[in-house]
Chains A and B, each alone.
Chain A
Amino acid sequence: MAAPGGPRPGNFPPNYNPNSLSNNMQNLQINQQQPNNAGVSAPRPPPNATPFGQRAPAFAGSRPGPPPPGVFPRAPVPPNAPAQTTLPPNMVSSRPAGPPPGSQLPPPPFASRPPPPGAMPSSIGGPVTPSPPALGPRPGSYPSSPQTSAPSTPSHGSGSGPVSNGPPTFAPRMTQSGPPFPPAMGSMPRPLVGPPQPPAMLSSRPSSQPMQMHSSFGGPPTAVSSASGQSAPPFSGPPQNMMPPLGSSPFSAPNTGMHQSINSPYGMQTWPAQPQQVAPPPPGSMQQPPLMFGMPPGGQSLPNQSMAMSHSGQSNIDPNQIPRLAPSASVIVHETRQGNQANPPPPATSDYIVKDTGNSSPRYMRCTINQVPLTADLLSTSGMQMSLLVQPLALAHPSEEPIHVVDFGESGPVRCSRCKGYINPFVKFIDQGRRFICNLCGFMDETPRDYHCNLGPDGRRRDADERPELCRGTVEFVATKDYMVRDPMPAVFFFLIDVSMNPTQTGATAAACSAIRQVIADLPKGPRTMVGIATFDSTIHFYNLKRSSQQPLMLIVPDVQDVYTPLESDVIVQFSECCEHLEMLLDNIPTMFESNRIADSALGAAVKAAFLAMKNTGGKLLVFQSVLPSTGIGSLSVRESEGRSNISAGEKEAHKLLQPSDKTLKTMAMELAEYQVCVDLFITSQMYVDIASLSVIPRTTGGQVYYYYPFSARSDPAKLYNDLRWNITRPQGFEAVLRVRCSQGIQVQEYSGNFCKRIPTDVDLPAIDCDKTIMVSLNHDDKLQEGSECSFQCALLYTTVYGQRRIRVSTLSLPCTNMLSNLFRSADLDTQFTCITKQAAIEIPSAPLAQVRDQATNVCINILYSYRKFCATVSSSGQLILPEALKMLPLYTLALLKCIGLRSDGRIDDRSVWINYVSPLPTPLVIPLVYPRMIALQDLNEKELDDSIIPVPIPLSSEHIAIDGIYLLENGVDCLIYVGEDVQPNILQQMFGISSIEEIPNQFILQQYDNPLSKKLNDIVNEIRRQRCSYLRLRLCKKGDPSGMMFFSYLVEDKTANGFSYVEYLIHIHRQIQNKMA
C-alpha cells in the first residue's frame, strides 16, 4: 500500500474535480443562504439567518472553528495543554483526598485536599510553569509557563506539528515511538502552536483562590504544555517514567507513570502532549497519590484540572480544579496522516481544518480509539468500546480542500473482486502494478488493464499522487449504471400539514405555511425539483397544483382507514410549474381552515397517502403535526398513566411508554423506506403526542423529529422556518445505501442511527444529510497482525439533489497495538462519550431507567478501573487516576445522568425527543447537548474579544452564577439566557430593551438594538447558531420562575435532587474503583 502520506498533499490536480457534489451543495447553499438570510429573516432578526448559513461557504469554516472555545479545551488545547496538567490534579484530588475515600466523607477529603495542592505543586509544580494556561483563572501564575511549554511541545509534536494541538502530536507518537516523530514534525508548521494556545485558554477562567492552587496545579498544567514538549519539565518525574512505559510493555509503563503523576501512566508521556496529564491533583495535599487524574495527552486538557483544594470551608475539593474543558480558540490544522502514520484527530468539538493526506477526515469517520487492539481480550480489558462514528456528508471547513470526484467512466470504480471494497490509498500494488492486494480482505486482484501503472522505487504507483483515490482518505466516485436500480430520482419535497382544530387555533398551521412559503425559494432549482402539498385533519386534502385555472384544486381523501392517492400525477409537480399556485395556496391554507372544528387528526393515514403519491419517486416528506393522531391508520391513544399527566409514573414499566405503542407505524415506516421516502416530523404541539410512537417513522426513514413544545406562535415560527430551511438546503442525498467494511479480524457488529435495517450488512437511507451520523460498533472476529494497520472503509452510494449518482468512500487506516496503554492514550473522548450517550439512548426505551443510569456509570468506572489497575498500578489506592485522554469522562457521564432522557422526572415526550435527537447526532453536537456551554454576558463590553466571538465558557456550576450577571447557556437545541436579580438596568435595557427584570417576557425574541452590547449579544447568538446548525429556542430565565428552574437544571455540576454534584460524583466513582480493586 502506498502510503498516501502526508507528504504529497498538494498534488491532486489531475483527478481533482472541482465540482464535487459537496462543493456544489455547499456553494448553493451558500449563495442561497446569504441572500435568503436577508430576505428570510423577516420573521426573525436578520442575523439569525446566518446560523443556518453556516453551511454557507462563508461560514463553513466557522462552524467548526470558533466554537471550540466554548467547547472543550481539548481540541484546541494545544495551548491549553498545559492546562490539562493542571487539571488532573484537581479533579481527582477532590475525592481521593479523602484518601480514606471509603471512610471519610467528602468533607474530610476536601479538607485534606487543600494541603495537597500545595504538595502537589511540588510534584506537579515543577512542571507547573506551563500549566497556567489551563487554569484560565489563574492565569496569573502560570500564564507564561503555558506558552513556554507550548513551544516546547511543538518540538515534539512536531509530528502533529501542524497545529499546536496536542492531538496531532499524538498520532505520531502513538504508533511509533517518540523518536520517529521528530522528523515528521519538522514538516509541520509548529509555529502556530505556541501562540494560540496560551492566550485563549487561560484568560477566561475566573478562579479566585486559584492562585495558590494554580501554583500547585500550575505545575501540572505546565506539565501539559510541556507534554507536548515533553512534559518532563513540569512533572519532571512523570515524564521520565512515561518514557519508559512506551518503549516497554504498555502496562509497565503506566505504572511507573502512576507513581508520580498521572502522566506517566499513560504512555502518553511519550508524547509531547501528554505530559499534561499529570494528575497529581487532588491529593495535591499528599504528594502521593491521593487522587490523580490522569489526563493523558489526549486532550491537552490541562485547563480542567483544577484541583480540588480545600479552599471552601467545608469541601476539600476546589471545584475550580476539577477536570473541566478548556476552551480553545485557535483553529487547528490537522493532517490525517503524517509520516505514513495515522494522525490522531483533534477533538471533535474543536475547530480544525483537515488536510486529507491519506486517511479520511475525522469529520466523516472517526474511531473511539485511534489504535486498534490486536485482540478482543485486550479491548475488553480496557473497558472501552470500539466503534466508528461515520458522518459521510459532514460539512467541511471552508478552508478544506473539497472532496475529489473521480470518474472511472463506464467501468466504474476499481473494487476488490472479493469483498467489493473500493480502491483506496491503502491498497497495495505489487507485481509491477499488475496486481493489487486489498487492504480490507487481503485478496489479490488483477489491476484492470487501463488502470495499470508502474510502481516507483518506493513501491508506490508512480501516479499515486495524481490519483485522489490513491492518496486521499475520502473521495467520491461517479456511479455507473450498475449502481442504479432505476434512474436517479428527482428531488421531491412533499409537505404535509395538520390543519385540524388545534393547530389552526394555536397558529401552528399558519407558522408551517409561512415557513414553507419562505423556504420554497430555497429549493434546489431546476427541472428535477418536484413539490407536493397536502393538509389533513380527519381527512386528507391533496392539492392539484398543476392547473390552468387560478385556483388549485383540493382533493380530499376521506377514507383514513384505507388510504390512496387521489391523482396519479399532478399531486407532485415540477416546482417551476406550480410555484405561484403553491404560494397562493400556502397563503390561503391558514384562513381556509381558520374555523375548522374537526379535532381529529389522521396523521398516519396522511403519511400513508402522501407516501402513495410519492411511491414512484421517493423523496422527502415533511410533516407538520400538532396533536396526537386520533383517527385513521396508525392512530394512537393517550396511553395509560402517562397520557394524562404526560409524566412517567416511575413505575417499573415506565420505560414502556418510551416504546412505540404498536407495530403499524413501524410497518409503514419500513414501506416508506423501501420506496425511498424520508419523513421529517415537525411537532408543534402543546400536549402529549406520543413521540415514542411517531418517531418510528422518521427514525426508520432517515429523517428526524423537530419538537416545538409548547408551541408559541410568537417565538417559534422563526425557529420553525430556520429548521425547515436548513433541512431543505443542507447538503443531502437520496436513496442512499451505506456500508462499512473492515480489515480482516474486525467486523461490523451493528449499525445504529436513523435508517432502515432490512439486511444486517447494509444501511438503507431514503435520505441522508450532513447532520446525520451513524454509529458502527465493531468487534473482533480474529486476532490482528502485530505491526499491521487496520482499515475501515465507509462507502455511501447516494443520489444528489441534482440527480447524480455518487459513491462517497472514506477510508481510515489505524495502527494496531497490543499495549493497553496505547489504547488509553489514543482514546478519543468525544467519540467514546458520544457512543456511550447513543447507547444509553438506545437502552432507555427497553430497560428500567435505573439500569441505564447504572450502566452509564459502570462504563465510566470500568474504563477508569482498567486504567487504574493495569496502567497505574503503582499509585496508591487512594488516588483517583484518570487517563489524560479520558479525564473528562466522569464529568460527561455525570452530565449524561442529568440529561432529560435519563431523568425520571421529565415529560415522556421530552424524553422521547431526547432519545430521538441523540440517535443521529454527530459527535460535535452530542457533547454540548450533554454538557452545555455557558458563557457570561454581563461583561461583554469590557472584554476585548480576541479572534473568537464567543467568550470563554464557564463551568456549569451555580457557584459561577453571580446575582448581577447575565448568562447564556446553550446545548445546541435550547438557548437560555439567565438574568440575575441584580443586573444593572442599563444592561437590561441595552440587551433586551426592558428596564427591569419583571418585564422579562415569557416568549422571547432576540432583537438587535443600536448599542454595542446588543450587537455583541446578537453576534454571539448567531455564532452559536452557526456552529450548531441550529436556530436554537431562545428563552429568558430569571430566578423564582419555572424558567429559572430550567436554567439551573442544566448546571450539571451542582448537586440536585437528581444526583451528585461533580465532586460527589468523582468521589463516588473513586469509591467504586477502589471497591473493585479490593
Chain B
Amino acid sequence: MAAPELAQTDPEGIEGVRMTWLNWPQSKVEASKCVIPIAASIQPIRPHVDLQILPYAPLRCKTCSAVLNPFCRVDFTALIWVCPFCFQRNHFPHYYSSMSQTNLPAELYPNFPSVEYSIQNPQNFNPAVAASPIFLFVLDTCMIEEELEFAKSALKRAIGLLPENAMVGFVSYGTQVQVHELGFSEMSKVYVFRGSKDISKDQVLEQLGIAVQGNRRAGPGMQKSGGGPSPVAGAGPNMGINRFLLPASECDYTLDSLLDELVTDQWPIAPGNRALRCTGVALSVATGLLGASTTGTCARIILLVGGPCTEGPGSIVSKDLSDPVRSHKDLDKDAAPFFKKAVHFYDELGKQLVSQGHVLDVFASALDQVGIAEMKIAIEKTGGLVVLAESFGHSVFKDSFKRIFEVGEQSLGIAFDGTLEINCSKDIKVQGIIGPCTSLEKKGPAVANTVIGQGNTTAWKMCGLDKSTCLTVFFDVSSGEKSDPAGSSQLYVQFLTSYQSSDGQMRLRVTTVARNWVSGSEDLVQGFDQEVAAVVMARLASFKMEMEEGFDATRWLDRNLIRLCSKFGDYRKDDPASFTLNPCFSLFPQFMFNLRRSQFVQVFNNSPDETAYFRILLNRESISNAVVMIQPSLISYAFSSLPAPTLLDVQSIAPDRILLLDSYFSVVIFHGMSIAQWRNMGCQNQPEHEGFAMLLQAPQEDAQLIIRDRFPVPRLVVCDQHGSQARFLLAKLNPSATYSNAQEMMQTGSDVIFTDDVSLQVFIDHLQRLAVQAS
C-alpha cells in the first residue's frame, strides 16, 4: 500500500490471499521443477470495504467441517450443498429455505470469497464484560534516569489511551522482579521475585497468593461456564488476580503516582559489569500472573526493555562488560554460551503463553542488544509486536507504542485469540506456515510429510494478530496423479480464521479461494506473482538460515534463481545474449539481487537482534511491505517534474534532486548537493522561491504519509549528499558507480559508492551466462 511504485491497487483483494503461483502444477515433480515453492501469503483479518459481516453462524460440512462457500454446488430445490473439499452432500437447515438462485445468502455470492461471521458467544457472556482485554506492562528499570523517564511518560500516555474497561497490570524489574499490587490502597505494595531463579506459573500464583483462593473459587465457576472463553472479569471478584489487574478507569491514578515514584534499579552495579537485569524471570512472572486468568482471556504482556538480560534464565550475556553480547560470528562459531539456553527458555515461555492464549510484545530501546534474537521465538509464536529503537525518547518507539492503543482509523486493529484452520482439496498438502503463529498439531490427511515453519497441522493459533498480520502457507502437491472425479481442474483452499476483535466480538472469517490445476509451463508462467515469490524466497531463506546449520543463503538463492531462469527463460543453449525472460519474471532477478544484498541475507552487518527484528517483520508484514524491505522504493523529486519512482541506483543521485528512499525500517530524505546548498542559504524562505519550498516540502509530506501507516514507525533520516547520514541511502543503492568505474560514470554529478559489491548489471550478466549453460 505504501509502495507507490508497486501500486497495483489492492492486489490482495477481498481474499487477502496472494500466491506464488496462480495456477498450480499438477504433479509433485512438476512442482519441484517450478523452483519457487507453491505458497500463499494470507492476511487473515485484513479489512476490506466489501467484506460482509454475517450475524449468524456458518454452515459447516458434516464430514470435513469446511464452511459453506461460493464454490459449493448448491441444489436449491433439495436444499442441499456439496462440499467442494470432500464432496459430502449437506442439507441446508430450514431457515435457508427461502434461498434461491436469485436470492443468495452472502456466503454464496461469488464476489465474496471472504465473508465474516459474527459469532455469539456460546456462554452468552455480556460482551461488554467479555471484551475486557488485559494489558500487563513489564518495565525494565535498569536504565539511566532519562530513559526511564521517557519510558514512564510513554506508559502514562498509553494508560490514558486504554479503553476504560481494559484491565491493567504492572510489573517492573531490574535485578529482581516487582509485581505491583494495584488494588492495595493503603500504600504502594509490590511483590518481589528473585531475578536469578526461574519460577513456574504455579509458584508465581502461589506466591502471589492467587493460587489457593483462585483455584478454589474459580474452579466451580469455570465448570459452570463450560470452560469456554471467560475473561478475567467474568470469573468473579474473588479471584485474587483482581488485586493485580484493575480496570484502567480505576487505576490510572494509582499507576500514575506509582510511575512517578518509580526509580531506576537500586541494586549496585559492580564496576566493569552490566546491570543485573532479569528480563527472563520478569516475563515468567508476568506469564504466571496472567495464568491466573481463565483460558481464552485476551491479554498482552507489553515489555519495555532497555538492555540485555544478564540475570537468571533467559540471560544472553554475562555480567562482565568485557564479554560482548553475541554477534552473528559468535553464533556461527557456536561461541555464544548463553544463546541456546536462552532460546530454549523463551521457547518454553512461548509455549506457556500460547497455551494461555496470551501475547508477548517487546519494545526494546537500547544502544546495545537486548536479546530479541532469543525472544523472537516467543514473540512470533504468540503473534506479538516488536519494536526496536535506540531510545525510549525516539519517535520510533514513542509513536509506535502509541499506535497500539489508538483506536479508529489509525488503529492497528489488534485482535486476540485467533485460530487459523485450512481446508483444502484432496491432493493438496500443507507443509506449514512461516509467520506469527503456532502449530496446534491438528493432524489430518492434508498434512504434508515435509515441514516448513509451524507444520504438522492444519490449524494454528495466533494469540495476537492485527489487520496487517500476514502468514505464509507452504503447500505441497501430492505425488499421485490428480484424480479428478468431477472433471474439474479447480482446486480449493479455505482459510477459517476465528478471532476476538478489538471490540470484543468473536468473529469467524471464511476465505475460500479457487485455483486451477495446470500442466503446461505456459500457464504457470502467466500465473507467477513475482512479488510474492520474492517475498516467499526471502522468508524461506531467512527461515533456513535460522534453522539449518551452515546454510549458505546466497548460493541457495543464486542456484534457485539460475534454475528458475533456466526453466522459464527463453534462450538458446550456451548463448547468454539470447536470453530473455517473460515479463512475468522480469523483476524477479532484481528482487533476488537486492535480497542477496539485503539485511536478511547479509546478516553480518547487523547484530543478531536486528536480524531477528527484521525477520519478524519480514514474516508478518504484507507482501507489499515485505517487498519494500527487500527492495526499497526510491522516489525522485525535482523541479519541473512530478515525483516519480526512480531506479534504485546510485545514478539516481543528482545535485538538484531530492530522493525519498523507503526501505521500510527507515525512510530517508536525501537532498542533492545543490538542493542542500540552496536550503542552507534559506532560499525556501524567500517568496520568489516558493517552488523550492514546495519541492523541499513534498518529500517530507510523503514521508509522513508512509510513516503514518506503518507499524513499527520507521526511522526518518533526513540527510544531504556527502553527509554522513547519506550512508542510509547509499547502502541500498545499486553500486553501478564505484571507485573502480568512477571515471566513466561520474559524468552526471551523481555519486560513487565505495564498495566491492557487484552491480546489478554484472549480476544479470552472470545470471544470463549461467542460466543458459545450466542443465
A residues near B (Cβ < 8 Å) are 538-539, 542, 547-549, 551-559, 562, 564, 566-570, 588, 591-592, 598
B499 at the interface (CB under 8 A from A): no
In whole Å, how far is A349's beta carbon from the nearest beta carbon of chain B? Answer: 51
- From B192-200, B529-537, B647-655, the one touching the partner chain is B192-200
Within B265-311, the residues touching A (CB, 8 Å) are 266-268
Q: How many residues of B contact A (CB 8 A)?
A: 27
Q: How far is B265's CA from A569's CA once the two chains are assembled, in angstroms?
A: 10
- From B203-211, B394-402, B454-462, B742-750, the one touching the partner chain is B203-211
Knowing A551-B188, A556-B190, A556-B192, the reply to whether A570 touches B261 (Cβ < 8 A) is no
Q: Is the CB of B189 within 8 A of A556?
A: yes
In whole Å, how far is B196's beta carbon from the nearest beta carbon of chain A? Answer: 8
Q: How far is B268's CA from A554's CA once the two chains are assembled, in angstroms?
A: 20
Knowing A547-B261, A558-B208, A559-B203, the reply to whether A564 touches B187 (Cβ < 8 A) is no
Knowing A549-B261, A554-B187, A588-B187, the reply to whether A539 touches B207 (Cβ < 8 A) is yes
Q: Is the CB of B193 within 8 A of A559?
A: yes
8 Å CB contact of A554 from B189, B197, B257: B189
Q: How far is B188's CA from A555's CA once the two chains are assembled, in angstroms?
A: 8
Q: List 17 A-B contacts (CB under 8 A).
A: A539-B209, A549-B188, A549-B257, A549-B260, A549-B261, A553-B188, A554-B189, A555-B191, A557-B191, A564-B176, A566-B192, A567-B266, A568-B266, A569-B266, A569-B268, A588-B186, A592-B186
Q: Is the CB of A558 within 8 A of B207?
A: yes
Chain B neighbourhood of A556, CB < 8 A: 181, 189-192
Chain A neighbourhood of B192, CB < 8 A: 542, 555-558, 564, 566-567
In whole Å, how far is B340's beta carbon from the nearest beta carbon of chain A? Answer: 26
**Chain B facing A: main interface SS:** mixed
Q: Can you name the residue of chain A whose Cβ is closest to the Cβ of B185?
A: A592
Chain A neighbourhood of B186, CB < 8 A: 588, 591-592
* Given pairs A553-B189, A556-B191, 14 additional interface contacts (CB within 8 A): A539-B191, A539-B207, A539-B209, A553-B187, A553-B190, A553-B261, A554-B187, A556-B192, A559-B197, A559-B199, A568-B267, A588-B187, A592-B187, A598-B209
Chain B neighbourhood of A548, CB < 8 A: 261
Chain A neighbourhood of B178, CB < 8 A: 555, 566
Q: How far is B266's CA from A549's CA once the two chains are assembled, in angstroms?
A: 17
Q: Is the CB of A562 within 8 A of B193?
A: no
Q: Which of A539, A542, A566, A588 has the most CB of B within 10 A?
A: A566
Chain A neighbourhood of B266, CB < 8 A: 567-570
Q: How far is B175's CA from A394's CA once the two chains are assembled, in angstroms?
A: 45
Q: Mark B163-197, 1 if CB is under 8 A from A, else 0.
A: 00000000000011010010010111111111001
Q: How far is B191's CA from A592's CA once the two chains are assembled, in angstroms?
A: 16
In whole Å, how far is A665's beta carbon from the nearest beta carbon of chain B? Answer: 22
Q: Can you name the residue of chain A whose Cβ is closest to the Cβ of B195?
A: A564
Q: How far is B265's CA from A567's CA once the two chains are assembled, in angstroms?
A: 9
In whole Å, how far is B176's beta carbon from the nearest beta carbon of chain A? Answer: 6
Q: Can you name the residue of chain A whose Cβ is closest to the Cβ of B203?
A: A559
Chain A neighbourhood of B181, CB < 8 A: 556
Q: Can you name the residue of chain B whose Cβ is closest to the Cβ of A591?
A: B186
Q: Is the CB of B208 within 8 A of A554?
A: no
Q: Can you name the residue of chain B whose Cβ is closest to the Cβ of A588?
A: B186
In whole Å, how far is A504's beta carbon from the nearest beta carbon of chain B? Answer: 14
B residues near A (Cβ < 8 Å) are 175-176, 178, 181, 184, 186-194, 197, 199, 203, 206-209, 257, 260-261, 266-268
Q: Which of B184, B190, B192 has the most CB of A within 10 A?
A: B192
Q: How far is B144's CA from A823's CA once the two chains are assembled, in angstroms?
A: 75
Which 9 pairs across A and B sit closest by C-beta, in order of nearness?
Answer: A558-B207, A566-B192, A554-B189, A551-B187, A556-B191, A568-B267, A564-B194, A553-B188, A592-B186
In whole Å, how far is B319's beta carbon from the nearest beta carbon of chain A? Answer: 15
In whole Å, how far is B170's beta carbon from the nearest beta carbon of chain A? Answer: 13
Q: Can you name the residue of chain A whose Cβ is closest to the Cβ of B204?
A: A558
Chain A neighbourhood of B206, CB < 8 A: 558
In whole Å, how far is B264's beta carbon from the nearest beta carbon of chain A? Answer: 12
Q: How far is B203's CA from A447's CA once the two chains are assembled, in angstroms?
A: 67
Chain A neighbourhood of B190, CB < 8 A: 553-556, 566
In whole Å, how far is A577's beta carbon from the nearest beta carbon of chain B? Answer: 15
Chain B neighbourhood of A570, CB < 8 A: 266
Q: How far is B185's CA from A591's CA once the two chains are assembled, in angstroms?
A: 12
Q: Is the CB of B187 within 8 A of A552?
A: yes
Q: How far is B206's CA from A557's CA once the two chains are assembled, in angstroms?
A: 12
Knowing A539-B207, A549-B261, the reply to whether A558 touches B187 (Cβ < 8 A) is no
Q: Is the CB of B176 within 8 A of A566?
A: yes
Q: Is the CB of B207 within 8 A of A559?
A: yes
Q: Which of A552, A553, A556, A569 has the most CB of B within 10 A?
A: A556
Q: Can you name the residue of chain B whose Cβ is closest to the Cβ of A540?
A: B192
Q: Which of A552, A553, A562, A598 has the most CB of B within 10 A?
A: A553
8 Å CB contact of A562 from B176, B194, B208, B261: B194
In whole Å, how far is B194's beta carbon from the nearest beta carbon of chain A? Answer: 4
Q: How far is B131's CA from A539's CA once the two chains are assembled, in angstroms?
A: 34
In whole Å, how far is B190's beta carbon from the nearest beta carbon of chain A? Answer: 5
Q: How far is B267's CA from A568's CA once the two chains are assembled, in angstroms?
A: 5
In whole Å, how far is B232's beta carbon from the nearest beta carbon of chain A? Answer: 20
In whole Å, how far is A166's beta carbon from the nearest beta carbon of chain B? Answer: 63
Q: How far is B381's CA from A182's CA once the two chains are assembled, in angstroms?
A: 102
Chain B neighbourhood of A555, CB < 8 A: 178, 190-192
Chain A neighbourhood of B268, CB < 8 A: 568-569
Chain B neighbourhood of A553, CB < 8 A: 187-190, 261
In whole Å, how far is A566's beta carbon from the nearest beta carbon of chain B? Answer: 4
Chain B neighbourhood of A551, CB < 8 A: 187-188
Q: Can you name the residue of chain B whose Cβ is closest to the Cβ of A556?
A: B191
Q: How far is B192's CA from A558's CA once the two chains are assembled, in angstroms?
A: 7
Chain A neighbourhood of B260, CB < 8 A: 549
Chain B neighbourhood of A567, CB < 8 A: 192, 266-267
Chain A neighbourhood of B257, CB < 8 A: 549
8 Å CB contact of B209 from A558, A562, A588, A591: A558
Q: How far is B191's CA from A549's CA once the two chains are assembled, in angstroms?
A: 19
Chain B neighbourhood of A568, CB < 8 A: 175, 266-268
In whole Å, how far is B519's beta carbon from the nearest beta carbon of chain A? Answer: 67
Q: Can you name the residue of chain B whose Cβ is closest to the Cβ of A547?
A: B261
Q: How far is B187's CA from A258's CA once the two chains are assembled, in angstroms?
A: 78
In whole Å, how far is B263's beta carbon from the nearest beta carbon of chain A? Answer: 9
Q: How far is B268's CA from A551's CA once the two chains are assembled, in angstroms?
A: 24
Q: Is the CB of A558 within 8 A of B197?
A: no
Q: Can you name the residue of chain B whose Cβ is closest to the Cβ of A568?
A: B267
In whole Å, how far is A509's beta carbon from the nearest beta carbon of chain B? Answer: 15
Chain B neighbourhood of A554, CB < 8 A: 184, 187-190
Q: How far is B193's CA from A547's CA once the two chains are assembled, in angstroms?
A: 21
Q: How far is B193's CA from A549's CA once the two chains are assembled, in angstroms?
A: 23
Q: How far is B207's CA from A555's CA once the two chains are assembled, in angstroms?
A: 13
Chain B neighbourhood of A598, CB < 8 A: 209
Q: How far is B257's CA from A598's CA once the two chains are assembled, in angstroms?
A: 29
Q: How far is B209's CA from A552's CA once the two chains are assembled, in angstroms?
A: 22
Q: Can you name the residue of chain B whose Cβ is closest to the Cβ of A546?
A: B266
Q: How far is B267's CA from A555's CA once the two chains are assembled, in angstroms?
A: 15
Chain B neighbourhood of A549, CB < 8 A: 188, 257, 260-261
Q: How far is B142's CA from A568's CA once the two chains are assembled, in angstroms?
A: 14
Chain A neighbourhood of B197, CB < 8 A: 559, 562
Q: How far is B179's CA from A555's CA once the two chains are assembled, in angstroms?
A: 9
Q: How far is B260's CA from A548's CA once the two chains are assembled, in angstroms?
A: 10
Q: How far is B180's CA from A566's CA once the two chains are assembled, in angstroms?
A: 13
Q: Can you name the residue of chain A whose Cβ is closest to the Cβ of B261?
A: A549
Q: How far is B265's CA from A570's CA once the two chains are assembled, in angstroms?
A: 12
Chain B neighbourhood of A558, CB < 8 A: 191-193, 206-209
Q: How far is B193's CA from A539's CA once the two chains are assembled, in angstroms?
A: 12
Q: Which of B189, B203, B268 has the most CB of A within 10 A?
A: B189
Chain A neighbourhood of B203, CB < 8 A: 559
Q: Can you name the residue of chain B whose Cβ is closest to the Cβ of A543?
A: B187
Q: How far is B209's CA from A588's CA once the two chains are assembled, in angstroms?
A: 22
In whole Å, how far is A126's beta carbon from the nearest beta carbon of chain B? Answer: 81
Chain A neighbourhood of B194, CB < 8 A: 559, 562, 564
Q: How far is B194's CA from A564's CA once the two chains are assembled, in angstroms?
A: 7
